[in-house]
């Protein structure tokens, strides 16, 4: 109840921090998608490269976020962005790479060779095959990767408050510093609600982007 | 026309190589269906995939209408050849109509032309366009999907068709129908077709020529009846089966053996007693009675012995009439079933064309085997 009161009393600030959180997560997700999906597709043509790229993304994923911020700080300080939103967004982009690349890679790889044979045999070029066949078939799994990345990033963005990135993590951080339970809970509650909403939203997006024929195929094969 | 000239295909490198095709030379003439026949793994699919450059040739050359395929743009080459793959490979994200429309769209056909073409093709493969146009592949049975695959291969009206076991997933009854329909269409369109099959019956029925493979080698390349009657070696005769004489009867049509001017024919208005005299003179026991160009039946001496009127009054109807395109196998089986040695051949207007006798058929079979006996 006190937590709710806290939120109502500070609603302008709540809105601002929520906006900051949304901003960081969406900007990083957009950039991460722009990098990860094409990369995931490109590496399907080269097993060796694929192993390296996915291993690389795996290693990034295992670095704890606080440590990653610490590692980036001296480098980014050189361009005057050791603290703030820039290190946060870069970190989120890096963390998103594994689910996005891996899902894209696996989804495209799993398109049955007979589709590829048929498409190529009928005179589709590489790009047409990708656009007309491979991506539409792979899209549910690719979007599932984005969903994982988005939800994960909402959590990591909360930690980014420690490098001065703003967002709802600010309540958690300040609340701990000031031993102010309502503030901590407000931050935690809002982050959680945000994550749940985004998860649900991405689930809807996944469904909306899946071609009807694929939905029917799934339903009938169950 | 497709020419294979000393074509060899080796898969893999170093230690584990597979020679899928070895020094294969033959030509598919324009407008002919050639069946690539043989057991699984003998190189049929590989030959097809070399033709549209889905695989690269190790040695030798393939020419399409006199042009080396290596000098052609792959995408252009493929778009001028319809391709029906062995495992169907419909795109699950596209409707049936959009699946069929793939190549026409790639070629930039106008929308309404594509729509008309889709309906025409679906009808041809016996899928009602109204029902199936907007469905998705997952909603169709395997056999139906395969028919869509055939329609898709034919979509842009390519001069050349590469078909890899295109009817394999269709149930036997529908398969016969689709084969018949396909042959009818082919009679009009006269496409150049490379058609993979492992089924000798299909090969005999569909093929103008059969290319029989064994372990990547072309063993015999011949018209079906020659393959059946003059198999080159034991592999061929084993493959075509012990009942090859019967299969030959399936290929040879009544039109090739019938007698257009049989002597034992009389007009229906002739008096029975006159006919009886003629039969005595010619020592014939069986006469066909024709009235105004239509066969009305037959008479034997016994039947007309006491008849005073015209011979048509006592003529007995034939149980069945044959057409020129009836296989001699069917003619023979009617003869056995109804205990006749002679049957009439009629055209589509039921006009009398001639007769077929048991001897006519037997003579033709003996001719076919003549080559074999020489060896
Ligand atoms: N991509 C490939 N890599 C290695 N071997 C192959 C490949 N494709 C076919 N083969 C081999 O080539 C031979 C002929 O295969 P294929 O042409 O598919 O036979 P068919 O269509 O007559 O059943 C088989 O031994 C097969 O294992
Ligand atoms: Mg095959």
Q: What is the pLDDT of residues B91-145, one digit of tens each?
A: 999 999 999 999 999 999 999 999 999 999 999 888 999 999 999 999 999 889 9
Residues A49-57 have a mean pLDDT of 94
The percent of residues above 90 in pLDDT, for chain A, comes to: 76
pLDDT at B5: 97
pLDDT digits (tens, 9 = 90+) for A1-51: 788 889 889 999 999 999 999 999 999 999 999 999 999 999 999 999 999
Q: How far apart are CA B74 and CA B80, in angstroms?
A: 10
Listed residues: CB within 5 A of ion ligand 2: B 45
Residue B372 confidence class, pLDDT cut points 50, 70, 90: low
Q: Chain A partners of B151 at a C-beta cutoff of 8 Å? A: none
Q: Could you tell me the residue ranges of all domains in chain A? A: 2-221
Residues A189-216 have a mean pLDDT of 95
For domain A2-221, the CATH class is mainly alpha
pLDDT digits (tens, 9 = 90+) for B51-68: 999 999 999 999 999 999
Q: How far apart are CA B28 and CA B268, in angstroms?
A: 51
pLDDT at B244: 77
A177 CA to centre of ligand 2 in angstroms: 71
Ligand 1: which residue has its CA nearest to atom 6? B11
pLDDT at B368: 74
pLDDT at B73: 94
Mutation choice for ligand 1 from B4, B37, B45, CB with most ligand atoms inside 8 A: B45
Residues B269-277 have a mean pLDDT of 89
B194 token code pair? 């490379």
Backbone region of residue A207 per phi and psi (left: phi > 0; alpha: psi in -120 to 50; beta: other values) = alpha
Q: Are B126 and B178 in contact (CB under 8 A)?
A: yes
For domain B2-251, the CATH class is alpha beta
| Architecture field, domain B256-365 | Roll (3.10)
Q: Chain B partners of A118 at a C-beta cutoff of 8 Å? A: 83, 85, 89-91, 149
B244 CA to centre of ligand 1 in angstroms: 29
Which residues does a 6 A CB cutoff place in the pocket of ligand 1? B 11-12, 18, 20, 38, 40-46
Please enumerate in sequence order all residues whose Cβ is within 8 A of that of B173, keeping only pairs 6 or more positions apart, or say none. none
Q: Chain A partners of B94 at a C-beta cutoff of 8 Å? A: 132, 211, 213
Burial class (CB in 10 A: 0-12, 13-18, 19+), A9: exposed
- Residues of A in CB contact (< 8 Å) with B are 112, 114-115, 117-125, 128, 132-133, 136-137, 211-214, 216-217, 220-221
Is B88 within 8 Å of A114 when comparing Cβ atoms? Answer: yes
A90 token code pair? 């870069």
pLDDT of B148 above 50: yes
Is B83 within 8 Å of A122 when comparing Cβ atoms? Answer: yes
CA B186 from centroid of its chain's CA atoms: 10
Is B138 within 8 Å of A220 when comparing Cβ atoms? Answer: yes
pLDDT of B175 above 80: yes
B107 CA to centre of ligand 2 in angstroms: 28
Residues A173-192 have a mean pLDDT of 92
In this complex, the residue of A124, A125, A137 whose CB is nearest that of residue B92 is: A137
Please enumerate in sequence order all residues whose Cβ is within 8 A of that of B250, keeping only pairs 6 or more positions apart, or say none. B204, B205, B327, B329
* Of the candidate ranges A74-78, A112-116, B107-111, the one whose mean pLDDT is the lowest: A74-78
ipTM: 0.89
Q: How far apart are CA B114 and CA B151, in angstroms?
A: 13
A61: nearest Cα among A202, A173, A156? A156
**Average pLDDT score, chain B:** 91
pLDDT of B373 above 70: no
Residue B374 confidence class, pLDDT cut points 50, 70, 90: very low
pLDDT at A66: 85
pLDDT at B24: 96
Ligand 1: which residue has its CA nearest to atom 5? B11
Q: How far apart are CA B296 and CA B290, in angstroms?
A: 6
Query: What is the distance in angstroms between the Cα of B55 and the nearest Cα belonging to chain A?
Result: 10
pLDDT digits (tens, 9 = 90+) for A96-105: 999 999 999 9
pLDDT at A91: 93
pLDDT at B83: 95
Burial class (CB in 10 A: 0-12, 13-18, 19+), B110: exposed
**Bridge partners, B9 (sequence order):** B21
pLDDT of B256 above 70: yes
Q: Any idea of the CA torsion for A13, A14, A20, A22, to the nearest 10 degrees?
A: -160
- For residue A220, the chain B residue with the least C-alpha distance is B138
Is B89 within 8 Å of A118 when comparing Cβ atoms? Answer: yes
Residue B371 confidence class, pLDDT cut points 50, 70, 90: low
pLDDT at A70: 84
Q: How far apart are CA A34 and CA A28, in angstroms?
A: 10
pLDDT at B9: 96
pLDDT of A162 above 70: yes
pLDDT at B213: 96
**CATH 3.10.580.10 residue ranges for chain B:** 256-365
Residue B284 confidence class, pLDDT cut points 50, 70, 90: confident
- For residue A112, the chain B residue with the least C-alpha distance is B89
CB atoms within 10 A of CB B19: 16
Residues B209-218 have a mean pLDDT of 96
**CATH 3.40.50.300 residue ranges for chain B:** 2-251
DSSP per-residue letters across B273-314: HHHHHHHHHHT-SEEEEEETTEEEEEEEHHHHTT--SBGGGT
Is B138 within 8 Å of A213 when comparing Cβ atoms? Answer: yes
Residues B348-366 have a mean pLDDT of 89
Query: What is the distance in angstroms between the Cα of A34 and the nearest Cα belonging to chain B?
Result: 24
Q: Are A37 and A157 in contact (CB under 8 A)?
A: no
pLDDT at A222: 81
Max distance between CA atoms of chain B, in angstroms, equals: 91
């Amino acid at each position: 109840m006190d937590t709710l009161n806290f939120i109502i009393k500070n609603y302008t600030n709540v809105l601002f921090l929520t906006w900051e959180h949304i901003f960081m997560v969406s900007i990083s997700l957009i950039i991460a998608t722009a990098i990860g999906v094409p990369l995931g597709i490109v590496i399907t043509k080269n097993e060796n490269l694929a192993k390296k790229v996915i291993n690389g993304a795996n290693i990034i994923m295992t670095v704890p976020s606080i440590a990653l911020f610490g590692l980036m700080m001296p480098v980014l300080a050189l361009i005057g962005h050791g603290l703030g939103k820039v290190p946060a967004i870069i970190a989120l982009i890096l963390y998103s790479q594994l689910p996005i690349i891996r899902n894209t890679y696996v989804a495209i790889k799993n398109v049955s060779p007979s589709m590829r044979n048929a498409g190529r045999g009928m005179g589709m070029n590489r790009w047409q095959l990708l656009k007309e066949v491979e991506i539409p078939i792979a899209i549910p799994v690719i979007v599932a990767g984005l969903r994982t990345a988005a939800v994960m990033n909402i959590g990591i963005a909360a930690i980014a408050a420690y490098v001065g990135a703003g967002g709802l993590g600010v309540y958690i951080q300040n609340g701990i510093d000031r031993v102010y339970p309502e503030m901590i809970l407000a931050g935690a509650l809002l982050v959680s609600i945000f994550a749940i909403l985004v998860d649900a939203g991405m689930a809807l997006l996944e469904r909306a982007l899946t071609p009807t024929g694929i939905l029917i195929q799934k339903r009938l094969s169950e | 026309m497709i020419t294979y000239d000393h074509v060899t295909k080796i898969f893999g490198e170093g230690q584990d190589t597979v020679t899928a095709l070895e020094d294969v030379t033959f030509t598919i003439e324009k407008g002919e269906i050639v069946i690539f026949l043989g057991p699984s793994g003998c190189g049929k699919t590989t030959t097809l995939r070399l033709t549209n450059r889905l695989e690269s040739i190790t040695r030798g050359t393939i020419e399409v209408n006199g042009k080396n395929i290596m000098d052609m743009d792959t995408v252009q080459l493929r778009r001028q050849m319809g391709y029906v793959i062995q495992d169907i490979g419909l795109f699950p994200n596209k409707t049936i109509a959009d699946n069929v429309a793939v190549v026409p769209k790639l070629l930039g056909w106008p929308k309404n032309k594509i729509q008309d073409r889709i309906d025409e093709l679906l009808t041809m493969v016996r899928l009602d366009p109204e029902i199936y146009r907007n469905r998705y592949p997952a909603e169709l049975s395997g056999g139906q999907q395969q028919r869509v695959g055939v329609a898709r291969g034919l979509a842009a009206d390519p001069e050349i068709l590469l078909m890899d076991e295109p009817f394999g997933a269709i149930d036997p009854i529908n398969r016969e129908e689709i084969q018949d329909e396909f042959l009818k269409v082919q009679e009009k369109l006269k496409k150049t077709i490379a058609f993979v099959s492992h089924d000798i019956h299909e090969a005999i029925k569909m093929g103008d020529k059969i290319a029989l493979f064994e372990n990547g080698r072309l063993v015999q390349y011949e018209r079906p009846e020659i393959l059946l009657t003059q198999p080159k070696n034991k592999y061929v005769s084993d493959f075509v089966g012990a009942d090859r004489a019967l299969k030959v009867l399936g290929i040879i049509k009544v039109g090739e053996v019938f007698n257009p001017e049989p002597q034992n024919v009389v007009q229906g208005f002739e008096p029975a007693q006159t006919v009886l005299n003629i039969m005595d003179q010619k020592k014939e026991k069986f006469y066909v009675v024709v009235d105004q160009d239509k066969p009305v039946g037959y008479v034997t001496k016994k039947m007309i012995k006491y008849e005073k009127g015209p011979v048509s009054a006592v003529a007995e109807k034939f149980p069945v009439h044959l057409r020129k395109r009836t296989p001699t196998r069917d003619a023979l089986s009617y003869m056995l079933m109804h205990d006749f040695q002679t049957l009439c051949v009629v055209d589509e207007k039921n006009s009398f064309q001639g007769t077929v006798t048991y001897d006519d058929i037997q003579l033709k079979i003996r001719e076919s085997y003549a080559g074999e006996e020489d060896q």
